[in-house]
Amino acid sequence: MSRIGKMPIAIPAGVEINININSIVVKGKLGTLTQAFDHNAVEVKVENNQILVQRFNDSKDARSKHGLYRALINNMVKGVSEGFKSVQELVGVGYRAVTQEQVLDLSLGQSHHIYFQIPAEVKVETISEKGKNPLVVLTTADKQLLGQISSKIRSLRKPEPYKGKGVRYQNEVVRRKAGKSAGKK
């Protein structure tokens, strides 16, 4: 039995669950999310203010989807009630970030600015304080979308191992290399 799949999902106050034959709709104060699921492998039902995900048999396909759909539904419930947040730090001399509505303007040490269009579901904010690295803060109800956007922004200038310059997640540890040794004797 899947350890993750058999755990029930508590439904917080203000969250509305609507289960169809092969999809689930979760509605809360931060938005509405929909997820399709394989109705031949798992069954999703609501009992005693909890969501239960159960599989029909012990086939390899059903076992693999049991924990997956439970985790996806849990992320949806948490997303519409609390939301998810990603903070990225721009480390480097002259690295800047500015937002204009849903467009993120990044200056990452290249000869040109990078304009990154952020989807409407994601709220973007930039924080620039003197003496500190600029921060890009992304918040949304959809954890999957947040991860994709964060990963794409990070891929524009990954942290390099010698000086540590680049876009990194806040509190991410970048493994550093020593570089060249000093002159020969």
Q: Do both 97 and 162 map to the same domain?
A: yes
pLDDT of residue 185: 61
On whether residue 123 sits in a domain, the answer given is yes
77 and 88 inside one domain: no
| Last-in-domain residue among 47, 81, 115 | 81
Please give the pLDDT value at position 183. 61
pLDDT of residue 141: 95
pLDDT number for residue 184: 62
Q: Are residues 19 and 95 in the same domain?
A: no
**Domain final residue pick, 65, 81, 97:** 81
User: What CATH number corresponds to the domain at position 56?
Assistant: 3.90.930.12
Specify the pTM.
0.87
pLDDT for residue 4: 86
DSSP state of 111: S
Residues of the chain with pLDDT under 70: 1, 182-185
pLDDT of residue 1: 56
Q: Which residues lie below 8 Å from residue 166, measured CB to CB, with a gap of 6+?
A: 91, 92, 108, 154, 157, 158, 159, 160, 174
Domain count, the chain: 2
Structural domain containing residue 136: 84-169
Please give the pLDDT value at position 46.
92
- Residue 4 in domain: no
